[in-house]
Amino acid sequence: MNSNSYDLKANKAVSVNFKDINLSFGKTHVLKGINLFIEPGELFAFLGPSGCGKTTLLRLLAGFESAQTGEVIIGDKEVSYLPPWQRNLGMVFQSYALWPHMTIRRNVAFGLEERHVPRNEINRRTDDALKLVGLYELAERQPSQLSGGQQQRVALARTIVIEPQVLLLDEPLSNLDAKLRIQMRHELLDLQRKLSITTIFVTHDQEEANTIADRIALMKDGVIQQIGTPVELYDKPVNRFVADFLGTANFFEGTLEKSANQCVFNTENGLSIPIDNCSNDLENSGCSLVFRPQNINVSTKKLSGKDNSVQLQGTIKGKEFLGSTIRYRLTVKGKDVFADVTHQQGKRLIEDGMTVNLGINRQQMIVVRD
């Protein structure tokens, strides 16, 4: 990859702004009051379970759906009423959508031909794009002769060759096998950094979002639940859904009780747990106490209570071997709780049925809305 037009890319990344978007398909309200600002040059993820509206939001940006209310602004231009072909956004489809009746070269050149770019420039830029994704040698093949990973690269090349303002990726890695997926993840990240182009990708895989996204919008039922960096979403979830969707979490349902200078969380199964930092608005509403498996100290011996941790007792019901850790399934007053213990060679496992002491640092426990 020597002298190539993509090496000299000037940074002209644009922002994307969704304002008060509401979209319905017939009677189904698919996007509800979406407000979202994506910074220029950001690698941004729409994350959520299937049916949450993340793909619809991406397709709305691309111009394939139209919202009943709201505005979509790219850079400083409102595009809500522009047809897809006038938006200059590059979208890579989940199925790659390579045209089977055209060679790889013709697939990649298509967007430039539609823009009536001079022939010699089309050839040069097509070559550059194919070299960038490492498929220059396969340019004359038909799409059906390529592997899944190669097809994906063609789809990428076809999209970036038109130098789109924003790159849109719809579940870009879901059709690849596990190993290739991780490799492509890094390639995508490298490419995005190299082009410094605002990029939005849709995924249902939290690991995928966590590893490469600058920021994530986590969605459910057409509503953005939380926007933030992966660490923010993991450490400071705003509600039970966010906490549950990212990683594994333990929940105790109950109510928050606030006295003079101390909060206490009363669980439904009869525990009273003191809470360090609690906000007012959670009082008297249904909420849950959240703590992660890796923050539980499991011991067969009595734990010293001096490290400001909450002390509980539980019974081992089973265990899963995850390699680096052992995940114990316990019951604490009738509630299932997962606790992770680092695994080391030769370390004795705790037998099922044993009663153990659990210590959880109060800093690691937070109360969230249900």
Question: What residue ranges bind another protein (CB under 8 A)?
Answer: 62-64, 66, 83-91, 93-95, 97-101, 110-111, 114-115, 142-145, 155, 158-159, 162
Q: Among residues 27 and 348, whose Cβ is nearest to another protein?
A: 27
Helix/strand/coil (H/E/C) assignment for every residue in 309-353: EEEEEEEEEEEEECCCEEEEEEEECCEEEEEEEECCCCCCCCCCC
Beta bridge partners of 296: 360
Q: How far is the CB of 24 from another protein (least distance, A)?
A: 10
Which tokens sit at 71?
């505005």
Q: Among residues 59 and 131, whose Cβ is nearest to another protein?
A: 59
Q: How far is the CB of 15 from another protein (least distance, A)?
A: 20
At position 45, the amino acid (one-letter code) is A
Q: Among residues 144 and 304, whose Cβ is nearest to another protein?
A: 144
Q: How far is the CB of 97 from another protein (least distance, A)?
A: 4
Q: How far is the CB of 193 from another protein (least distance, A)?
A: 23
Pairing status of strand 16-25 against strand 296-299: unpaired
How many other C-beta atoms can be found within 10 angstroms of the C-beta atom of residue 226?
Answer: 21
Q: Among residues 37 and 64, whose Cβ is nearest to another protein?
A: 64
Q: How far is the CB of 85 from another protein (least distance, A)?
A: 5
Q: How far, in whole angstroms, is CA 229 from its chain's centroid?
A: 10
Angle separating helix axes 104-114 and 119-132, nearest 10 degrees: 130
Q: Among residues 161 and 368, whose Cβ is nearest to another protein?
A: 161
Q: Among residues 164 and 314, whose Cβ is nearest to another protein?
A: 164
**Strand stretches in the chain, DSSP E:** 16-25, 28-38, 43-47, 69-74, 77-78, 89-92, 166-170, 198-203, 215-220, 223-228, 250-258, 263-267, 272-275, 287-291, 296-299, 309-321, 325-332, 335-342, 355-361, 366-369
Residue 320 phi/psi, 5-degree rounding, is -120, 135
Q: Among residues 203 and 225, whose Cβ is nearest to another protein?
A: 203
Q: Is 183 helix (H, G, I), strand (E, B) or coil?
A: helix
Q: How far is the CB of 130 from another protein (least distance, A)?
A: 16
Look up tokens 């680096």; give the residue. 324
Distance between CA atoms of 30 and 53, rounded to whole angstroms? Answer: 6
| Those residues with Cβ within 8 angstroms of residue 178's Cβ, 6 or more apart along the chain or in another chain | none
Q: How far is the CB of 125 from another protein (least distance, A)?
A: 13
Asked if 225 and 193 count as a contact pair (C-beta separation under 8 A), the reply is no
Q: How far is the CB of 64 from another protein (least distance, A)?
A: 6
Q: Among residues 75 and 247, whose Cβ is nearest to another protein?
A: 75
Q: How far is the CB of 148 from another protein (least distance, A)?
A: 11
Q: Among residues 69 and 284, whose Cβ is nearest to another protein?
A: 69
